[in-house]
Structure 1
């Protein structure tokens, strides 16, 4: 079984404070792009839909978008402006967007969601599984317990201020989010990327339980705010998307980047 990470409670205060390291992660990306372009596999041109995190807009996805376009995918962003929470209007529009993209391309769509965008991705895959090839989430709270989110108080306060006065629970209690609350297993492959040093979404919420034949949790180094620009994340996303349709297999690090990945996640960084 794919299992959730055993962490309990909120992200460590140190990790939340270190989210500012996103600036360093942004600075590193241009220097790693040449090697990344050589290591990351090219795609088959199938459609890929990118979804931003809470308060993120299409601009926040520019790193992922340009990289995946360069890998040969037909990339689109959700086209709904800034992500201001899991609300009915965006949920309905997302399902329509997925169906339209799949119909136009004549093949299913891969969904890549960052943070709250990953929750939208899971919702879209539940609503239109026949139109979805796979789901990849980046630090997304896809497994929130009955007691509510363990994100830092500041994050919850922002959600209450911008999205709903009762916080994220108000949106996840909507009838249309029933499958998310019940954690109904997705019928399509799902890869959940998470970081132990994520200062926003704790690892137990960013991982899932399920059949290892189509569900996996992949640990990555880095901050929450830098996931969409993280070279290791981009390499893994490209690896996952490059699998032939209907032939999904769990992630296995390989090559020089695989060796660096093992070093960063299992030797240098704490368990």
Structure 2
């Protein structure tokens, strides 16, 4: 595996004290399992408004949509439509979860999106067929057991755990998929208590990103993990901004600056009345000039 990788440095957040990291991770674990219970009845609502590319968030093993709430708020405030995929009990067949994800993208008409998959969620994203991949701009995986985790042996009763065992048929196929996909970036930590060994969450690419804090849940629930994933999405968005659709405005009728007026000048017709006049009066009429009546000019404003 290539040892070259990136280390995330935040402009606004500093790395927390190791003791604080330890207790924060314990709290995230408790919160994660609490969400797994109440998530049976409550789901996090999507935030479909925004002018940037949509982001689809996929939970990991035993995960629920509620755990993504801090990440969803951070993304939606910054202009991204955000969707959280309800995948039910995250213990079953990962291949089936991939089909549910693909149907979700098609049903919601989500295109040109970013996918963020935590832990097993990254494996679910890798299982998309061409129908789903055509709708994805880039996949970000955080703490995903790309090459499996030995902790999976602790829960052999679940199909998902079998599939995440190192050297399993599923893991071998997933590694081949990740090697072919050019639009995947991994975020990992050197002190991951779930991915054993922690190097198994790396793709081995030069742009793998190391989070300089400990904790598997901290990768997507902690402030530094959220900032890291957000900055990676922002960097990708700045590199290739989402095209702004042109609004088709109705053609405006061009009106002249001057009002159009039409002058109508009706001519008053005189009735010829034949009267018998004496020669003397006739001569007087010829000598006396007759004043012409002026026609009335009306202006009709349109």
Q: Tell me, yes or no, whether TM beats 0.5.
A: yes
In structure 1, the residue corresponding to 2:101 is in which secondary structure?
helix
Deviates more, 1:198-207 or 1:186-195: 186-195
CA distance in 1, matches of 2:166, 2:216: 23
**Cα 1:156–1:186, aligned 2, differ >3 Å: closer, same or farther?**
same
Equivalent residues in 2 for 1:52-91 (5 A)?
52-91=59-98
**Offset at residue 84 of structure 1 (A):** 1.4
Residue of structure 1 equivalent to 2:220: 228
Output aligned runs, 1:145-224, within 5 Å: 149-152=148-151, 155-158=152-155, 160-163=156-159, 166=162, 168-169=164-165, 173=169, 179-201=173-195, 202-210=197-205, 212=206, 215-224=207-216
> Per the alignment, in what secondary structure is the counterpart of residue 196 of structure 1?
coil
Instruction: Tell me the C-alpha RMSD between the 2 structures.
Output: 3.5
How far apart, in 1, do the equivalents of 2:26 and 2:93 lie? 27
Note the residue ranges of structure 2 that are not aligned, 5 or more in a row.
6-17, 30-49, 241-302
Say whether 1:247 aligns with 2:239. Answer: yes
- 2:105 aligned with 1:98, yes or no? yes
Distance in 2 between residues matched to 1:111 and 1:82, nearest whole Å: 20
TM-score, structure 1 length as denominator? 0.63
- TM-score, normalised with respect to structure 2: 0.57
Residue 184 of structure 1, CA deviation: 4.3
Match of 1:112 among 97, 113, 116: 116
The 5-angstrom pairing of residues 14-25 of structure 1 reads 21-23=24-26
Q: Is the 1:133–1:188 Cα contact (8 Å) retained in structure 2?
A: no
